[in-house]
Amino acid sequence: MSLNEPKEQNVSGSTFAKKAIQNGTGDNGYYDIAKGADTVKGNNDTYWQSDSGAFGQYFFGSLHNLGLVETYERSKFIRRSEKGKHLADAYNKSISPHERSLFLSIVKEGKLNSNQAEELTGFSLSKEITGTEEWHFYFTMFLGEDNDFTLSGKPLSLRKQSIKLFLDHLNNPQRQVYMPYYLYHTKGSTEKSLCSEAAYGWYYYELNEFTHYALESILWAMLLKLEAISVPIRVNEYIQETQAEVLDVLRNKYKLDTQTTITVQDSIVLCQRKGYTVDYLYALTEEVSDMDLADINLADIIALNILTLISLFQENEKDLTPLQEYAQDLDLIRTGNAVVALRELVGQNKYLEIATFIEKVYYWIINRHLFVAYEKMGSGEDNVLKLMLEDNHLLWLENIGPALTSPRLSTLRKFMTDLRLINSDGQLTKNGYKILNQE
């Protein structure tokens, strides 16, 4: 795929494959596809990290949700389901006997010549399959009922609802915004209560995105400050120094009177009065992310995201309890989710002075980072520590910037195009409207 269609994206292992292509075939004249295919003692240079291999890390969850694979009871062994066999048979018909034989011989030998890749076009992810048995299977599968359920009998993925939501969003171009962003602002409500359960889930998703981006931005600024200090520093000394700088920014740039005993609750009121909405503050954050590092005021980043956390709580306070109940009902609760973070950081500290609140945020972020990093290492993952806390001293190890996750809506758009539910311009087809209007 990476040889014949280098522009294809969102394919697991493609970055690894492109790196191998850049390295070339070497003197042997072939690509060594066995290299990195399996973990070998002393060599873990693979494109996955999980003990379950590439299949377990990248594909099992989706295939299991779609009912294509299943596991033996109380076992890690995976087997193809009857539904999976039907897909395999349909896919098999779209690949010529020569291509099937050549593909298996290449995998067996672990060697791929450049000219052989040109003979495997039947495996292309972008080939035309409309009307084939494989295409009809995909159409029925993606638009069928969900297969994974909670203990209470509710579907976990709400896939079909999300597809209808996405079609509805494309059918309303006047919105002109990213779907999760739109559903955050409507708090999961849509016209005629369309797919309300999935819509509320996308609201929950985007609230988590905003919250974690703010927390990660503060951590990033803290790490940059630690790097500049370059030597271990007492925790309280570090906090007092940066706290004073943040208070100066809040006072001089955002006009919060930090000289008085202003509380978090007072700050909530002031944010409303001055128009410091999440939208406004997030736009400022995006501006900062485009700046050169040398031009960034680290205290400004922290102040900006302190206000973002306060505004996130203010804008969503009344919804935190129903969001928590929704997430629990669908088994969506994860460590450090937005509802818990906003309640612990802002809700429980509303009557603290803003200076003390900043200190609380610092300690919360440091402790959360250490907890998550050690938990990951305890489960066999790589060391992700970015700072150390030892003998009440902080030590910089490495920087990490804030990042948003990807809900893979671009991939969903490709699926919808392949299934002929939308055309190449994103407009709904006859079949698209049929799916959208289904009860």
Domain presence at residue 136 = no
The dihedral formed by the CA atoms of 170, 172, 176 and 179, expressed in degrees to the nearest 10: -50
| Predicted TM-score (pTM) of this structure | 0.84
Question: Domain boundary at 368, 384, 404, which?
Answer: 368
* Average pLDDT, integer, range 388-410: 90
> pLDDT by residue (tens digit) across 180-238?
999 999 998 876 566 788 899 999 999 999 999 999 999 999 999 999 998 999 999 99
Domain presence at residue 53 = yes
> pLDDT by residue (tens digit) across 163-180?
999 999 999 888 878 899
Residues 208 and 292 in one domain: yes
pLDDT reported for residue 194: 63
Question: Domain boundary at 368, 388, 421, which?
Answer: 368
Q: Calculate the alpha carbon distances from 90 to 95, 142, 238, 391, 416 in Å.
A: 10, 15, 62, 63, 20
pLDDT reported for residue 303: 94
Residues 115 and 206 in one domain: no
Distance CA 386, CA 405 (A): 20
Question: Domain boundary at 126, 152, 178, which?
Answer: 126
pLDDT tier at 290 (50, 70, 90 boundaries)?
Answer: confident
> pLDDT by residue (tens digit) across 98-152?
999 999 999 898 888 878 888 888 888 878 888 899 999 988 888 877 665 544 5
Whole-number percent of the chain with pLDDT over 90: 44
pLDDT tier at 32 (50, 70, 90 boundaries)?
Answer: confident
Number of domains the chain is built from: 2
Domain presence at residue 279 = yes
pLDDT reported for residue 10: 64
Domain presence at residue 392 = no
pLDDT reported for residue 16: 73
Q: Are β-strands 111-112 and 31-32 bridged in parallel, bridged antiparallel, or unpaired?
A: antiparallel
* Average pLDDT, integer, range 245-251: 93
Domain presence at residue 402 = no
Domain housing 24: 14-126
Domain presence at residue 259 = yes
Residues 87 and 223 in one domain: no
> pLDDT by residue (tens digit) across 189-203?
876 566 788 899 999
For residue 250 the two structure tokens come to 């809040």
Domain presence at residue 165 = no
Residues 260 and 352 in one domain: yes
Residues 329 and 239 in one domain: yes
